[in-house]
Amino acid sequence: MKSRVALVAAADYGPATVAPALRRLMELLGGMSRFVKPGQRVLLKPNMLAGKPPEQAVTTHPEVLRAVIQLVQEAGGIVAVGDSPGIGQPLAVAKRCGLLQVIEETGCHFAPFADSVRVRPRGRTFQHLELARDALEADVIINLPKLKTHQMMGLTCGVKNLFGCVVGMRKPALHLQAGADKALFALMLLELAEQLAPALTIADAIVGMEGNGPGSGDPVRIGALLAGANPVALDTVACQLVNLPRSEVWTARLAEQTGRAGASPSDIELLGDPLSQLICPNFRPAADTDVGFGLPAWLRRPLRRSMSAWPKPDGQRCQQCGLCVRHCPPQAMAIHNGRLRIDRRRCIQCFCCQELCPFGALLTRQGLLLRLNQYGRRTHRRPKNNHP
């Protein structure tokens, strides 16, 4: 059976736009009462990566959260909202990104993701997994991603957003487990999504993020909301919406390679507004971070520097706050004599440092062969022009 994904246009975050657009989106899928029954405990999982204001497009917009809460409450659900941010205390981050105000105004409960539960996953990439108790004890999870570029995975949307259910410093431990193997990390994310099994994913793609995402990219107007029960299928449509080849998004690529439902457009029944009218043709992807040229591993190894990308500190912007140093999974970073240094032999190219730096002080330095390859592939792409 095909996975159903609904797509509707939504030009801005005004309540008069978002609430009707979301209602229509859900009607296309049969209404919120198909997913939420009266009395059920419903966890809403927005993207709450960092305490940035909504206009920076780092987090799910508060008006999208408000509109979802309204529909869930109408269906009789008891709502909690939670995430484990990359940096900062959850409550403080929720306040700074405007979500806490909505939670309080709508009488919902804030789930701090303070506690983890060890589970034995169904998949094959984890021996065990520690997930937020708030997520595991909910009757229903509704996943609320923001559509953004992601330096390591290519895109963060339905599947990647659920990584926030891994609490705090357990996230770097999973990065370390995967090392520099992006395919393995993508497989981990897919299995994590299957373990959590959200009933519904609703993506905020009204204003997304392009370029240096997910923490330091540029806001870009896309003008759409998406929803579906299958986060893999939703991501397939998200890739089409921003004109990004699925082969450049690791979770989408691995989903297709492993034959997961919804990984191909032919697996999907698309409802709502025509995709062709909403495609964002000039969306600027994250910089490529590696290229294989189909070479065998023994030949790629000596060319790794030239065929990969690395984080590069920007000496002007870096405040030497040490945040990235504390969160680097393999402890490849250190501050010496007032300068941030990265040990490339230890770096696993996860780009967590870039994601978390509050000052946008970590750039992407591509090796020569990677730059040449990217230039060859993307010369046809037009410059960005969709800034809100």
Which of residues 137, 322, 339, 375 is near ligand SF4 by CB under 6 A? 322
Runs of H (alpha helix) within 7-160? 15-28, 62-74, 90-96, 99-105, 133-136
**How many residues appear in the chain?**
388
One symbol per residue from 330 to 349: x for binding ligand SF4 (CB under 6 A), - otherwise; what is it? x-xx------x-x----xxx
Q: Other C-beta atoms within 10 Å of 55: how many?
A: 12
Which of residues 352, 366, 373, 386 is near ligand SF4 by CB under 6 A? 352
Cβ closest to ligand SF4, residue 227 vs residue 347: 347
In angstroms, give the least distance from the CB of 363 to ligand SF4: 10
Cβ closest to ligand SF4, residue 121 vs residue 179: 179
The one segment of 55-63, 158-166, 217-225, 320-328 that binds ligand SF4 by CB under 6 A:
320-328
Rounded Cα–Cα distance for residues 208 and 118 (Å): 33
Decide the pairing of beta strands 339-342 and 362-366.
Answer: unpaired
Under rule CB under 6 A, which residues in 353-382 are in contact with ligand SF4? 353, 357, 359, 361-362
Q: Is 178 in the site for ligand SF4 (CB under 6 A)?
A: no
Cβ closest to ligand SF4, residue 36 vs residue 356: 356
Strand ranges in the chain using DSSP code E only, listed in sequence order: 3-9, 41-46, 78-82, 109-111, 116-119, 129-132, 140-144, 146-150, 154-156, 200-210, 218-228, 268-272, 309-313, 333-336, 339-342, 362-366
**Cα angle for residues 380, 186, 309 (degrees, 5° grid):** 50
In angstroms, give the least distance from the CB of 336 to ligand SF4: 12
Cβ closest to ligand SF4, residue 56 vs residue 70: 56
Q: Which residues bind ligand SF4 (CB under 6 A)?
A: 311, 313, 318-324, 328-330, 332-333, 340, 342, 347-353, 357, 359, 361-362
